[in-house]
Amino acid sequence: MRIVFTGLIEGIGTVKDISNSRIEIKTDIDAVSKGDSIAVNGVCLTAVFVNAGGFSADYSPNTDKITTLSKLKQNSKVNLERALQLSSRLGGHIVNGHVEGTAKIEKIEKLEYFYKIKFICKEIISAYCVDKGSIAVDGVSLTLSSVSAFGFEIFIIPETFNNTIMQFKKAGDEVNIETDILAKYLKKFVNKETNNISLEMLKGNGFI
């Protein structure tokens, strides 16, 4: 079965140590067992060692290359989410924990009731972003408010901002990005079936 997350962060952890492709995280999230899948800043990792105060996980060279894990340091804060249980509600959107790349924060603006954050990203990321669509930023399920070829913008309510590591971010920081899996499937399908796209075909295949 494919591991699925929702993008609803369960807690903030603290990096206790990171070296030799292993990260050790301190957290008060309970019921973590060896072998469990846990999204760390949106990256799906497997707990290889667990104790009362946290867990350790290994990550591959490819994960190191395309995510921000290697930029974490001792005492860095990270977003944590355990894999979705079959009996749980899907409160965010379908997140696989397969980060595609990173984006850079261009600006964080505090409004009266929201925070507005602008990001710069490569076109390989923005190609799968649509207005009012879903995106996972450091594992947080968010809604895109606007999209351009080289960036996107989101609004975050104070509840989400204050209970995730977004509260510690500043302009220039990089974040992990996972675009909506449905957008990726649709784009691939459209590319293969360019000559046969119709409203009836999309409805018949469950896209709309």
What burial letters (b/e) apply to 31-61, b meaning 16+ CB within 10 Å? ebeeebbbbbbbbbbebeeeeeebbbbebee
- DSSP class of residue 95 equals B
Q: What domains are there in the chain, each with its CATH number?
A: 11-82 (2.40.30.20), 101-185 (2.40.30.20)
Spell out, as residue ranges, where the chain has pLDDT lower than 50: 1
pLDDT of residue 181: 82
Q: Are 105 and 113 in contact (CB under 8 A)?
A: no
pLDDT of residue 182: 78
